Each structure stands twice: as structure tokens, then as C-alpha cells.
């Protein structure tokens, strides 16, 4: 049955290319080859002792060794009748293996898929690229596909081939620059990378899969074939109610968390998603927050980046468990009525050699020109959003998290750096756009397209921009010329108000505008008021550490500030530890200072934040018209001498009076106009003894007088506690 004639066999130069790992078209020489009516079977298995081909019909052919691991045999064409496959029976030194020949399988990606990938318009990119457990011709295995149009050769490597890039070179689909290969009998859990020869023929560092759905735990950098079994979601009730929870006017209060340092194990280790679910979720829900926002959990190599230098844009970090574990975490959040927002980083990526940098030996994902493609501040590359394939990749990543993991929103990092070509660059260090301007037209188009798609595909999800400039229309819909985000972080409000709070009260009269200026532009966008992680790092200290005065005054200042924030128009966001009045700056390598809660002043701040959240969510006047000027009215905004601020929050039916005294001086007989008479009840007093305050107030309620003040028909005569915020509503 076997003919070992060399007539028509493999050419010596093909053997040389296979042995050197430089063959650009392995399917032309390996596997079954029909030439002039003759069937040739070939395999490249360096180190193998013997190789046989075993037909599914039972026929056996011995492949004879040629040289350097190349095995070949000529078989009767009847050895492989139509629709019949074969297996390679391989004797290794000390081991035996039997599996189908990867080079006996046909094309995997269809022409339509290739055309859509090439155009950068494939809605299912993640289903084409990456590693997928599948079945081909009845054989189970893993299908690999990766975009690397300029590479001379791409191989998939892993433990299954001793990480030898010569063993599994892939097929190039020229129409899209995608390389593909089916490796039979592999399954999920297998670690792998890609080995590439660049356009100059040089061997590149082995690369993780850009579309990997799972990765090795750091410091490992390999990708992992993910379990294809879909997660069995139980959050139908949450998903059905999400539109109402995210509707304009719904209360949104976000607890921002770094999963690795919220709480640590006794040995300093990090908690798994399951362990975090047991501890973090009840805590956040019990504190009255509506949403949990996680600093980036897409796989990232360097822990000190806090996730802001991710490389696995489709893979939850293995630091806390598997993708299935993360899905279960989200599911459990939804079970208690807690939404999940992920920090997503489309602005840049790190230079790690196993990542996207010079992926196929060229500037593939990044701009070629460093004036466009390199962030000097962060030592990172910038995605080339002028390339359709890169836009498709990034868009697929965002939509993947919203779809695959039922995530309720994405906070998009560093949007300002995407919008401006001269961001953090001096003259001569940037390239103008085609009109000679500083705007990054490609990034603008990408954001509009992405946000438009999110609005269509996930109309009840949120896209939130961290945008620090005065770019117009960040939250306007794309069809109206906006960027299409649902919310924008109000960085100006954060910086202005923190600057005010840091000042000694004796100086605050001269900076009164820092607390009032936010209302000048409060309705230009849909805003989130953030007190984020950025404000407690890099030497800035903690929130409580920035408050002036003696110890009691510092805590009173922070409580008054929180009362002001929760009553001010805008959704709320607080980074973990702020609710504890943590004294030290945040350290990503250590857990929060939970021991501080033994101190009544720290415990009082925590209690206040919980009460503010519950008051905010349970009082429609504080949120229903959050983005509407009809929901706010200054009662007194110009009492700079006393550093007193008073305003009404309204929902069209009811109202709340907020009064802030930003000095340590109690103020009696302070008259403020209100829109209706009757009894007004104190619903929050940040100076209450339960919060660690002095207990100064109005005995829980005060009767309105029929005396007009501040343009309103009635008025209240109040005692204003020192360094405190009062919230009152009519009974």
C-alpha cells in the first residue's frame, strides 16, 4: 500500500524552509497532497521516531523520515475516499500520540467574513479571530485566527507542540491578512501564543493573542483557550429593569473599586471573584450605592498600572479567576440590584513585547509616526483609529463586554487624549489633521460610531466619558453632532470644589466661586460628579488629608463636602476608601485601612455616606430632574462673607432645601426663603452626633414663616451647624 518513490515528492527547498521555520504556505506541502493522480501524505514532526497515517476506514501507511523531522509517504488514492479523514500515529521518545493532521482540514473563515474584516465592519469579529473550541469535519479541536497582514509566517505555539514555532505554521487568508489553523484534539485550558516572522524575515517575540478570551495569571503572558460553555445567567429581572434604572432622572451613585486592593487576604493575596462577591457586593449594596465601577479588569501585565495598561481587551484578568468566575460576579451584583460599570481603555496600550506593539513587525495597531503613535506621558502606544481594522477591533472589545458579560456600562478612559492630536505635546511634537487642526478626526469618528452602535444594540447600557476639557457635545447624540456618550465625568467640578475645600475657612470668602461655578455649566452635559482614584494618588494624599483645620474640623469639612456633593446636580461617584475617611494615600499593593472604623469619626463618615446614598435614591427631588435646569434654584449663592450656600432641588412636585455652612462658626437665626409653608424636616444633618458631629441643628424640624425672602413666599429661620450641610424637606 505504500510507495516510497521520491518522484513527485517534497522539494528540498521546501524541507529547508520547514526546518528553518520560514515556509510561508505550509498547506501547499503538508497534509494530503494530490499531484498528478498521486496522493502524498506529509508531516513535519521534528523529534518524532516513527509516524503512521491511519485512515478512518482502517488503512495504515508508514511515513518515512526524510530529514530533520520531515515525514512523507505516497499512498494509493483509495486510502482517502471522499469525506474520509485520517489520523497521525506518532511515536515520540518516551511518548505516543494519535491525532488528526491539522493540514488535512480546509478553509475556516468564509469569504464574507474576510471581506467584512478587511473593511473593518465585522459585527462578530471576536467570533472570527482568537481561539475557539469547535468541531471541524466531526473532529473536536481549537480554531485559531489572528490578524497579521505583514508577517511572513505565523505559527501557533504552546505546550502541545513544545512551543516550537515550526510545528504549526498557519494559513494566510490574503483577502484580510488573517492567519488561521485548526489544531485537532486541543481543548479549553490550553496555553498558547503566536510566533511571527516580520516582513524582514526576523523572528519576533512570541505574542499573546490580541483577541484572547482568557489569559495566564501574571507574570505569565500566554493566552488561554477559553471554555466555550456559555454562562447560565440568572439576571433576567435585572436586565428587564435596567432601562428604568438608567433612565434620565434615575438615581445613579457609583462606588469605584480597585479589585486587587479593596480587601486583601491575611497573607496579602488577592481575593477571587467568588470571594469578592461574598464580601464586596454586600458591602456596596449595603452602603446604598446603585453601581459598582471596577478599575480596568481587562488583562494587563503590570500590576502597578492598576489595569490602565491593558493588553487583553477581551479577557478578564486572571488575577481573580476565570472568565466564568467574572460572569458569576456580575450575575451576583445584579441579583442584589447592583449595576456593574467597567473602566475601558481605548486610548493607548503598553509597549510590552508580547503585546500589540509592532505586532507583525510593523506599526499595525499603532500609528507609525511617534508624533501620533506614542504617549510620552505614559510610555504607551496610541491606537491607530484611522485604520478600519483597528477600529473594528476596539469596537468589538467594547461591545463584547456589554454583551458577553451583561456589563451595565463602560467608563471610557482618557477621552481627552483621544480627541486632541496635541494632547500633552509641545509645538512640533504633533501632526495636524488633514485640515491643519488639532482635532483627531479619526478618534472622533470612532467614538461617535461606537456610541451610536451601543445606543442601538444596548439601549439601556451607559457610556461614560472621562473627558477633562470643554469639548462641546460629549453627551449629545451622534446624530446631533455630539460624541454620543450618556454621561461625562465633571472633572472641572471636582478640581474646583476640592481646591475650595482645601483652603482654610478664613480664606474661603475669597474663593466662593469655586463652589458655585459648576452651576454655570451644569446643564451643558449630562454629568457625573467624580471623587475618583486620580485624586488619592501620586502624592495628592487622601480626601480627609486635604481638609484643613484640627482633627475634628477635618472630619467636619469632609462630611460637609459629601453633603454638598450628594445634593448638587449630577450623578455621584466615590472611590473606595473615601467613605472611610482613609488617612493615607491609596496604595494598590495594600488593602484599605479598615481598622480606622474602630474610630467613631471614621465610622461616622461611613455612616453618613450610606445615609446620603439612601436619601438621594429615596428622594426624587434630589435626582429626578438632575439634568434639567428646572430641578435647581439658588436660594442664596452670594453670601461669600459667611461662606454659606443654599439651594433648592426640585422634581416638579416636591423640593429639598440644601444649606452648606463652610466655616467652623455656628450661625443662628439664618433666614432662607422657601417655596411653601408648613413644617420642614431635617432629613440630613452632617453635623449630627451619629456622624461624629457636634449635634448642632434645628431639633429635627422647623416651621416655615409667612415672611418672604429671596424671592420666595415663605422662609425658614435656621441654626446652621459649623462646617456642615443640612438637607430639609417639607412634611
- Judged on CB neighbours under 10 Å (0-12, 13-18, 19+), 688 is buried
* Average pLDDT of the residues of the chain: 96
Q: Which residues pair with 709 in a beta bridge?
A: 712
The pLDDT tens digits for 433-478 are 999 999 999 999 999 999 999 999 999 999 999 999 999 999 999 9
In the prediction, which pLDDT does 608 show? 98
SS3 664: coil
In the prediction, which pLDDT does 5 show? 40
SS3 215: strand
In the prediction, which pLDDT does 6 show? 44
The pLDDT tens digits for 660-701 are 999 999 999 999 999 999 999 999 999 999 999 999 999 999
Q: Which residues pair with 572 in a beta bridge?
A: 253, 529
Handedness of CA 307, 309, 314, 315 (dihedral sign): negative
Cell of 520: 454655570
In the prediction, which pLDDT does 79 show? 87
In the prediction, which pLDDT does 77 show? 80
Whether residue 525 lies in the annotated active site:
no
The pLDDT tens digits for 650-662 are 999 999 999 999 9
The residue from 209, 466, 626, 651 that is catalytic is 466
User: What distance lies between CA 717 and its chain's CA centroid?
Assistant: 49
> pTM of the full predicted structure?
0.96
Handedness of CA 115, 121, 124, 127 (dihedral sign): positive
Whether residue 16 lies in the annotated active site:
no
Residue in the block written with cell 480546509: 106
Report, as ranges of residue numbers, the positions in the chain whose pLDDT lies below 50: 1-7
Cell of 604: 461616622
DSSP code at position 709:
B
Cβ pair 491, 468 in contact under 8 A: yes
In the prediction, which pLDDT does 7 show? 39
In the prediction, which pLDDT does 142 show? 98
What is the percent of the chain where pLDDT is above 70? 99
DSSP code at position 271:
P
The residue from 100, 190, 256, 413 that is catalytic is 413
In the prediction, which pLDDT does 2 show? 37
The pLDDT tens digits for 242-266 are 999 999 999 999 999 999 999 999 9
Amino acid at each position: 500500500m505504500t510507495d516510497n518513490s521520491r518522484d513527485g515528492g517534497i522539494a528540498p527547498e521546501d524541507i529547508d524552509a520547514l526546518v528553518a521555520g520560514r515556509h510561508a504556505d505550509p498547506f501547499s506541502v503538508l497534509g494530503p497532497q494530490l499531484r498528478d493522480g498521486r496522493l502524498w501524505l506529509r508531516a513535519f514532526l521534528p523529534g518524532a521516531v516513527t509516524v503512521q497515517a491511519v485512515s478512518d476506514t482502517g488503512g495504515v501507511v508508514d511515513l518515512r523520515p526524510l530529514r530533520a523531522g520531515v515525514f512523507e509517504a505516497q499512498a494509493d488514492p483509495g486510502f482517502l475516499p471522499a469525506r474520509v479523514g485520517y489520523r497521525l500515529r506518532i511515536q515520540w521518545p518516551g511518548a505516543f500520540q494519535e491525532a488528526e493532521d491539522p493540514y488535512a482540514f480546509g478553509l475556516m473563515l468564509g469569504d464574507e467574513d474576510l471581506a467584512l474584516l478587511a473593511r473593518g465592519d465585522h459585527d462578530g469579529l471576536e467570533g472570527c479571530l482568537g481561539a475557539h473550541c469547535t468541531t471541524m469535519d466531526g473532529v473536536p479541536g481549537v480554531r485559531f485566527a489572528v490578524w497579521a497582514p505583514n508577517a511572513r509566517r505565523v505559527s501557533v505555539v504552546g505546550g502541545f507542540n513544545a512551543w516550537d514555532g515550526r510545528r504549526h505554521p498557519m494559513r494566510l487568508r490574503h483577502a484580510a491578512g488573517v492567519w488561521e489553523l485548526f489544531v485537532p484534539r486541543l481543548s479549553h485550558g490550553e496555553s498558547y501564543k503566536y510566533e511571527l516572522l516580520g516582513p524582514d524575515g526576523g523572528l519576533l517575540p512570541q505574542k499573546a493573542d490580541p483577541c484572547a478570551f482568557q489569559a495566564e495569571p501574571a507574570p505569565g503572558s500566554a493566552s488561554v483557550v477559553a471554555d466555550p460553555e456559555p454562562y447560565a445567567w440568572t439576571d433576567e429581572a435585572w436586565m428587564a429593569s435596567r432601562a428604568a434604572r438608567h433612565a434620565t432622572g434615575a438615581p445613579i451613585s457609583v462606588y469605584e473599586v480597585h479589585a486587587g486592593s479593596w480587601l486583601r487576604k491575611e497573607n496579602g493575596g488577592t481575593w477571587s471573584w467568588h470571594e469578592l462577591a461574598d464580601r464586596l457586593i454586600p458591602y456596596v449594596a449595603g452602603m446604598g450605592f446603585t453601581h459598582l465601577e471596577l478599575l480596568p479588569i481587562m488583562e494587563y501585565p503590570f500590576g502597578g498600572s492598576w489595569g490602565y495598561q491593558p493588553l487583553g481587551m477581551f479577557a478578564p484578568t486572571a488575577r481573580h479567576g476565570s472568565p466564568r468566575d467574572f460572569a458569576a460576579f456580575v450575575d451576583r451584583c445584579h441579583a442584589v440590584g447592583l449595576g456593574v460599570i467597567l473602566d475601558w481603555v481605548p486610548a493607548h496600550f503598553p509597549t510590552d513585547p508580547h503585546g500589540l506593539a509592532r505586532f507583525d513587525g510593523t506599526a499595525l495597531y499603532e500609528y507609525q509616526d511617534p508624533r501620533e503613535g506614542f504617549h510620552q506621558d505614559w510610555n504607551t502606544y496610541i491606537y491607530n483609529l484611522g485604520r478600519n481594522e483597528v477600529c473594528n477591533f476596539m469596537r468589538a472589545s467594547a461591545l463584547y463586554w456589554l454583551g458577553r458579560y451583561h456589563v451595565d456600562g463602560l467608563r471610557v478612559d482618557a477621552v481627552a487624549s483621544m480627541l486632541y492630536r496635541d494632547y500633552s505635546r509641545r509645538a512640533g511634537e504633533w501632526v495636524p489633521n488633514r485640515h491643519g487642526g488639532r482635532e483627531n478626526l479619526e478618534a472622533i469618528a470612532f467614538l461617535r460610531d461606537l456610541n451610536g452602535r451601543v445606543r442601538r444594540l444596548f439601549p439601556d447600557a451607559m457610556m461614560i466619558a472621562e473627558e477633562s476639557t470643554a469639548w462641546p457635545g460629549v453627551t449629545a447624540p451622534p446624530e446631533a453632532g455630539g460624541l454620543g456618550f450618556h454621561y461625562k465625568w465633571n472633572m472641572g467640578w471636582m478640581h474646583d470644589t476640592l481646591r475650595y475645600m482645601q483652603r482654610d475657612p478664613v480664606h474661603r470668602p475669597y474663593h466662593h466661586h469655586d463652589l458655585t461655578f459648576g452651576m454655570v455649566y451644569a446643564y451643558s452635559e449630562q454629568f457625573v460628579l467624580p471623587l475618583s482614584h486620580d485624586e488619592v494618588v501620586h502624592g495628592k494624599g487622601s480626601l480627609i488629608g486635604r481638609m484643613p483645620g484640627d482633627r475634628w474640623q477635618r472630619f467636619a469639612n469632609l462630611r460637609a463636602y459629601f453633603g454638598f456633593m450628594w445634593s448638587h446636580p449630577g450623578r455621584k461617584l466615590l472611590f473606595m476608601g473615601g467613605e472611610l475617611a482613609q488617612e493615607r494615600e491609596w496604595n494598590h499593593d495594600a488593602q484599605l485601612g479598615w481598622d480606622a472604623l474602630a474610630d467613631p469619626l471614621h465610622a461616622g463618615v461611613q455612616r453618613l455616606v450610606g445615609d446620603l446614598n439612601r436619601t438621594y435614591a429615596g428622594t426624587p427631588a434630589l435626582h429626578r430632574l438632575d439634568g434639567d435646569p428646572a430641578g435647581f434654584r439658588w436660594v442664596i449663592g452670594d453670601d461669600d462673607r459667611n461662606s454659606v450656600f443654599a439651594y433648592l432641588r426640585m422634581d416638579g412636585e416636591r423640593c429639598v432645601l440644601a444649606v452648606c455652612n463652610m466655616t467652623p462658626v455656628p450661625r443662628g437665626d439664618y433666614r432662607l426663603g422657601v417655596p411653601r409653608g408648613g413644617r420642614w424636616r431635617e432629613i440630613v444633618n452632617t453635623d449630627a452626633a451619629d456622624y461624629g458631629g457636634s449635634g448642632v441643628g434645628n431639633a429635627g424640624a422647623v416651621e416655615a414663616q409667612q415672611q418672604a425672602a429671596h424671592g420666595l413666599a415663605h422662609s425658614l429661620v435656621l441654626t446652621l451647624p459649623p462646617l456642615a450641610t443640612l438637607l430639609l424637606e417639607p412634611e
